[in-house]
Amino acid sequence: MPYRSAENLLFWEFEIFQQYEELTCLFSTIRNGNSKLNLGFTKFADADEVRKNRDLFLKAAGASGNNIAIGKQIHSRNVRNVTEPGLFDDTDGLVTSRSDLSIIVSSADCLPLFLYDTVKKVCSVVHSGWRGTRDGISEEAVRLMVELYGSDPSDIKCGIGPSIEASCYEVSNDVANQFDRNFLTPSKNDKMQLNLKDVVRGQLEKSGLLPENIEVCDICNKCDEENYFSYRREGEKTGRMWGLMRINQ
């Protein structure tokens, strides 16, 4: 398994990015000694503990809390180009070419996407839940990379991180009807299982990414209770993981 330990924390890493020494890309697990590494200010979280956990995470990732950009995620298709650190309202995706600026995506069951233009040296993180996936947020991120930085989609590599698998993701017919039937499987109680990972993979290929440049993690957060939070498993009391991407100087 492509895991890496640092500062007593355990991270998921993508094999597709391993050859790029100038790039840092990792996704947190909940492993933190005898406690869980919650990085989200959620309803039942202790704020002081979350701040301490974020400091641990950033230290392990070689980042500074003064030099991160993170979106205030609202399940939209909004992607923003950033050149400075900060908290960006109504934003579910970030794009940057600035070196040493760490861009952050927060997730539990939703898909965390990581994109890197290996030629232009541009990176992006995306939070893609069912609404963002429906509205094509991954395509919007690629579009911005092309429009603002002249990226060639065939030069972009993407990792789709740990997130809920279709077998554990039941949705109502109201949600299911907003997706192509090819990504749906009938389930019990008149519901459908939705394969968000395959939907996003198709959107990325439609945007021009090569199939061999897309790595999809097959971990299901709901099933892997030892390593990941899951809203579907734990409800509102669940925590959040962080994904980080940074182009190093």
Per-residue confidence (pLDDT) for residue 107, from 0 to 100 = 97
Q: List the chain residues with pLDDT less than 50.
A: 1
Q: What is the pLDDT of residues 194-231, one digit of tens each?
A: 999 999 999 999 999 999 999 999 999 999 999 999 99
Domain-embedded: residue 150: yes
| Count: domains in the chain | 1
- Minimal CA–CA distance to 113: which of 105, 121, 101? 105
Domain-embedded: residue 190: no
Q: Say if residues 154 and 131 touch (Cβ distance below 8 Å).
A: no
Domain-embedded: residue 172: no
Domain-embedded: residue 30: yes
Domain-embedded: residue 94: yes
Q: What is the pLDDT of residues 80-108, one digit of tens each?
A: 999 999 999 999 999 999 999 999 999 99
Q: Which domain holds residue 114?
A: 3-165+196-247
Domain-embedded: residue 216: yes
Domain-embedded: residue 7: yes
Which CATH number is 69's domain given? 3.60.140.10
What are the angstrom distances between the C-alpha of 226 and each of 12, 29, 30, 50, 230?
Answer: 13, 9, 8, 19, 11
pTM of the model: 0.96
Per-residue confidence (pLDDT) for residue 3, from 0 to 100 = 80
DSSP string, the chain: --EEEETTEEEE--GGGTT-TTEEEEEE-SEETTEE---S--TT--HHHHHHHHHHHHHHTT--GGGEEEE---SS--EEE-SS-EEETT-SEEEE--TT-EEEEEESSSEEEEEEETTTTEEEEEEE-HHHHHTTHHHHHHHHHHHHH---GGGEEEEE-SB--GGG-EE-HHHHTTS-GGGEEE-STT-EEE-HHHHHHHHHHHTT--GGGEEE---BTTT-TTT---HHHHGGG---EEEEEEE--
Q: What is the CA radius of gyration of the chain?
A: 17
Per-residue confidence (pLDDT) for residue 1, from 0 to 100 = 46
What are the angstrom distances between the C-alpha of 134 and each of 47, 104, 196, 245, 246?
Answer: 32, 22, 9, 24, 27
